[in-house]
């Protein structure tokens, strides 16, 4: 839906006449008392994203009753200029705004778009969206993969002449199964139930002596429920959601290379306007009998919790770090550093140049108890 193209001068004249015609005891129209003007939006020359969000909100104020105008999104609320409006500037700008962008509407914050936390950032159910980045690239490790081992009986592999350099392919999609389970039709909060599937494959593309096999493929289906929150935290941060999930991860291999585990996790996320996001998970592994457990000590290496931080340095560059820890005195876990650079306009293109540096345990399931340092460079499709 788009707004009709109406010169602002004509609109202001109509509003002034309407205000004069009102009885003295009748409150002025909410349009006439709007606290946001197009001149303020015009001054946001340093950020195209914030400027567009400002005009979107100004347009809402011209067409919607004040009672249904949503609160200003963080990307706008944190960037409105304090400078006075220049009344000498002619009010003749014409604005046409689309309002049906859903989870692609950048006037809403990153976490709101990712998890569709409110009515304006909702894209409905049973549509496919990205989850983790869809990645294709080359990787180089500090040494060749070690022979797989596990404390479980009959789970030690045999030495194979794999190379340290290989290709990486990461696939990840999700779909929303249901929404409004607890929040109902609340326009400011929308809970959701999701199903996701992720897969990571390592391909020995450069290893002609072994006929270029796929060394590992890890599969990770999961189900998660997300409940929106909006709690103000110190420093301008906002706690945006909490959630609960269950996840199965396995490599689909027969003995002796079979590796798998199941977990239940709690998760949460917070953000500082549209620049910084912090998300975290803490999980509990499901108990398995000794006969069925492929890797009884996996949580001591891959960890029991993770925290991810993202910094949108500017419209083209995003930096990220993910830390996993086993929450034990040994402190084992991993660190992953990431840099994503937009290729083309990041508003219309999801393609990114993607660099990752991994250090620690759990790079793949079969290597869960082997410490590795791996650098990966490639291309990703993201859905933020």
306-324 pLDDT tens trace: 999 999 999 899 999 999 9
250 within domain boundaries: yes
Shared domain check, 67 and 177 = no
Return mean pLDDT, the chain: 85
Domain for residue 95, yes or no?
Answer: yes
Question: Quick one: 88 and 208 in the same domain?
Answer: no
Work out how many domains the chain is built from and give that number. 2
Under the banding of pLDDT at 50, 70 and 90, the label for residue 262 is very high
Of 100, 129, 154, which residue constitutes the final position of a domain?
100
Instruction: Say how far apart CA 53 and CA 77 lie, in whole Å.
Output: 10
What CATH number should be reported for the domain holding residue 338?
2.40.230.10
151 shares its domain with 263: yes
List phi, psi (to 5°) of 366: -65, -20
Please return the burial class of 343, using the count of CB atoms within 10 Å of its CB with bins 0-12, 13-18 and 19+: middle
Q: What is the mean pLDDT of residues 133-142?
A: 97
Based on the domain organization, do 155 and 247 belong to the same domain?
Answer: yes
Residues 200 and 295 in one domain: yes
Max mean pLDDT range (63-67, 88-92, 114-118): 114-118
Q: pLDDT tens for residues 34-83?
A: 466 766 776 676 667 777 888 777 777 766 555 555 555 555 544 444 44
Do 237 and 272 contact (CB within 8 A), yes or no? Answer: yes
Distance of alpha carbon 137 from alpha carbon 147, whole angstroms? 24
Compute φ and ψ for 86, nearest 5 degrees. -85, 105
Per-residue model confidence (pLDDT) at position 23: 47
Q: How far apart (Å, rounded) are the C-alpha atoms in residues 104 and 124?
A: 12
Say yes or no: 115 and 96 in one domain. Answer: no
Checking if the pLDDT of 28 tops 50, the result is no
Tell which residue, 365, 319, 355, has the closest CA to residue 135.
355
- Name the β-bridge partners of 323: 307, 335
Q: For strand 128-130 and strand 276-285, is the pairing parallel, antiparallel, or unpaired?
A: unpaired
Q: What pLDDT does residue 176 have?
A: 98
Query: What's the pLDDT at 46?
Result: 63
Confidence (pLDDT) at 304: 98
Tell whether the model's pLDDT for residue 87 goes beyond 70: no
pLDDT value at 286 more than 70? yes
* Lookup: tokens for 120: 């304006």
Please tell me the distance from the alpha carbon of residue 8 to that of residue 356, in angstroms, as a whole number: 49
In the chain, % of residues over pLDDT 70: 78
CB-based contact 219:252 (threshold 8 Å): yes
Number of helices (H), then strands (E), in the chain: 6, 13
Is the model's pTM score more than 0.85?
no
Residues 271 and 296 occupy one common structural domain = yes
**Angle made by CA atoms 312, 175, 264, in degrees to the nearest 5:** 85
Q: What integer pLDDT is reported at residue 156 of this predicted model?
A: 96
Paired with 282 in beta bridges are 266, 305
Which residue range(s) make up the domain with 75? 8-100
pLDDT at residue 91 tops 50: no
Q: Please tell me the predicted confidence (pLDDT) of residue 54.
A: 82
- Cα dihedral 31, 35, 41, 44, rounded to 10, equals -170
- Tell me: pLDDT of 140 over 50: yes
Lowest-pLDDT range, 31-45, 147-161, 198-212, 368-382?
31-45
CB contact burial 121-138 (16+ within 10 A = b; e otherwise) = bbeeeeeebbbbbbbebe
- 123 & 255 share domain: yes
Residue 85 clears pLDDT 60, i.e. is over it: no
Percent of the chain with pLDDT over 90: 67
285 shares a domain with 244: yes
Q: Could you tell me if 61 and 140 lie in one domain?
A: no
Report for 71-85, 108-122, 195-209: range of highest mean pLDDT: 195-209
Residue 254 has pLDDT above 60, yes or no: yes
Q: Which of 77, 100, 123 is the last residue of a domain?
A: 100
CA 12 to chain CA centroid, Å, is: 40
Do 201 and 227 share a domain, yes or no?
Answer: yes
Tell me 148's DSSP state. Answer: P
Residue 204 in any domain: the answer is yes
The yes-or-no verdict on residue 21 having pLDDT over 70 is no
Average of per-residue pLDDT across 85-95: 41
DSSP conformational letter for 67: G
Res 354: pLDDT? 98
pLDDT in tens, 324-377: 999 999 999 999 999 999 999 888 899 999 999 999 999 999 999 999 999 999
Q: What is the pLDDT of residues 223-244, one digit of tens each?
A: 999 999 999 999 999 999 999 9
* Domain-ending residue, one of 68, 100, 132: 100
Spatial separation of the C-alpha atoms in residues 164 and 363, rounded to whole Å: 13
* Alpha carbon distance 332, 324 (integer Å): 8
Same domain for 161 and 21, yes or no, is no
User: What per-residue confidence (pLDDT) applies to 123?
Assistant: 92
């Amino acid at each position: 839906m788009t707004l009709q193209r109406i010169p602002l001068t004509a609109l202001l004249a109509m509003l002034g006449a309407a205000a004069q015609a009102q009885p003295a005891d009748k409150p002025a129209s909410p349009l006439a008392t709007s606290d946001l003007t197009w001149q303020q939006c015009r001054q946001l020359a340093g950020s195209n994203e914030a400027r567009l969000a400002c005009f979107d909100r100004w347009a809402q104020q011209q067409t919607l009753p004040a009672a249904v105008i949503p609160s200003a999104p963080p990307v706008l609320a944190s960037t409105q200029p304090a400078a006075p409006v220049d009344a000498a500037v002619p009010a003749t700008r014409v604005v046409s705004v689309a309002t049906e962008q859903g989870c692609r509407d950048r006037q809403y914050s990153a976490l709101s778009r990712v998890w569709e936390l409110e009515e304006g950032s909702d894209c409905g159910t049973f549509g496919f969206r990205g989850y983790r980045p869809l990645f294709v690239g080359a990787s180089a490790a500090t040494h060749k993969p070690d022979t797989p081992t596990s404390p479980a009986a009959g789970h030690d592999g045999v030495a194979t002449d794999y190379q340290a350099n290989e290709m990486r392919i990461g696939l990840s999609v999700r779909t929303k199964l249901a929404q409004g389970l607890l929040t109902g039709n609340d326009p400011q909060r929308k809970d959701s139930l999701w199903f996701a599937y992720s897969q990571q494959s390592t391909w020995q593309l450069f290893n002609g002596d072994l006929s270029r096999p796929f060394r590992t493929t890890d599969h990770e289906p999961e189900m998660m429920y997300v409940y929106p929150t909006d709690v103000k935290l110190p420093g301008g941060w906002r706690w945006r959601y909490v959630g609960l999930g269950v996840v199965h991860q396995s490599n689909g291999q027969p003995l002796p290379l079979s590796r798998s585990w199941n977990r239940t996790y709690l998760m949460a996320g917070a953000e500082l306007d549209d620049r910084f996001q912090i998300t975290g998970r803490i999980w509990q592994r499901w108990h398995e009998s000794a006969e069925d457990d492929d890797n009884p000590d996996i949580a001591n290496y891959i960890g029991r919790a993770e925290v991810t931080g993202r910094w949108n340095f500017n419209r083209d560059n995003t930096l990220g770090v993910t830390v996993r820890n086993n929450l034990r005195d040994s402190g084992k876990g991993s660190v992953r550093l990431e840099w994503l650079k937009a290729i083309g306009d990041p508003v219309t293109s999801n393609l990114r140049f993607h660099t990752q540096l991994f250090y620690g345990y759990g790079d793949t399931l079969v290597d869960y108890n082997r410490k590795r340092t791996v650098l990966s460079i490639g291309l990703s499709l993201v859905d933020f």
